[in-house]
């Protein structure tokens, strides 16, 4: 987090200060082979709201896949799969285009989307988080950061 890699499109009107980086930590994680939105915060309440055990905060992903998925497989992705001996919370999963699914989850188990896809015969070839709560990735380029606007909440 430096002034040099701050996104030019940041319209928050917040002036950068080195003090803003004190105690900054990621609220959640992205696997090494995933890309997209990562929220950094100093506020433990925000982190808990986003990633806590009982978090109801939605996370949205675009997932490029290979393989065949029938209606039953799509139904299972939405509700009916278990990981680590535990039933998963209902998800919203739908086709975005011919090789990409849109997942909306209220849960975040380790490698959850990849493992869910494997259970229905799909292989994930790309995964991008595009939203956490009401905060959207939008046009923010890889490697850039911005402040949240006052109207953005989780």
CATH number of the domain that 128 lies in?
3.30.2350.10
Non-local (6+) Cβ contacts of 141 within 8 A are 7
Stretches in the chain below the pLDDT threshold 50 = none
Is 12 within the bounds of a domain?
Answer: no
Residues with active-site annotation: 31
Question: Is the residue at 154 inside a domain?
Answer: no
The answer to whether residue 6 sits within a structural domain is no
Q: How many domains does the chain have?
A: 1
In tens, the pLDDT along 80-114 reads 999 999 999 999 999 999 999 999 999 888 899 99
Q: How far is CA 53 from the centre of its chain?
A: 16
Give the residue numbers spanning the domain of 97. 18-135
Coil/strand/helix, residue 111: coil
Residue-level pLDDT at 137: 97
The pair phi, psi for residue 114, each rounded to 5°, is -60, -45
Helix (H) or strand (E) run with residue 113 in it: helix 112-119
Q: What is the pLDDT of residue 10?
A: 97
């Amino acid at each position: 987090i430096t002034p040099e890699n701050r996104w030019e499109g940041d319209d928050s009107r917040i002036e950068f200060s080195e003090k803003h980086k004190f105690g900054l930590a990621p609220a959640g994680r992205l696997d090494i082979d995933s890309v997209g939105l990562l929220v950094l915060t100093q506020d433990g309440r925000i982190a808990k709201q986003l990633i806590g055990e009982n978090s109801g905060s939605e996370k949205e992903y675009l997932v490029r896949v290979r393989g065949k998925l029938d209606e039953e497989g799509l139904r299972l992705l939405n509700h009916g799969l278990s990981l680590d001996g535990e039933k998963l919370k209902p998800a919203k999963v739908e086709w975005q285009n011919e090789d990409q699914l849109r997942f909306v989850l209220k849960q975040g188990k380790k490698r959850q989307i990849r493992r869910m896809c494997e259970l229905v015969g799909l292989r994930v070839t790309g995964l991008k988080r595009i939203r956490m709560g009401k905060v959207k990735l939008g046009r923010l380029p890889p490697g850039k950061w911005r402040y949240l606007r006052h109207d953005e909440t989780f």
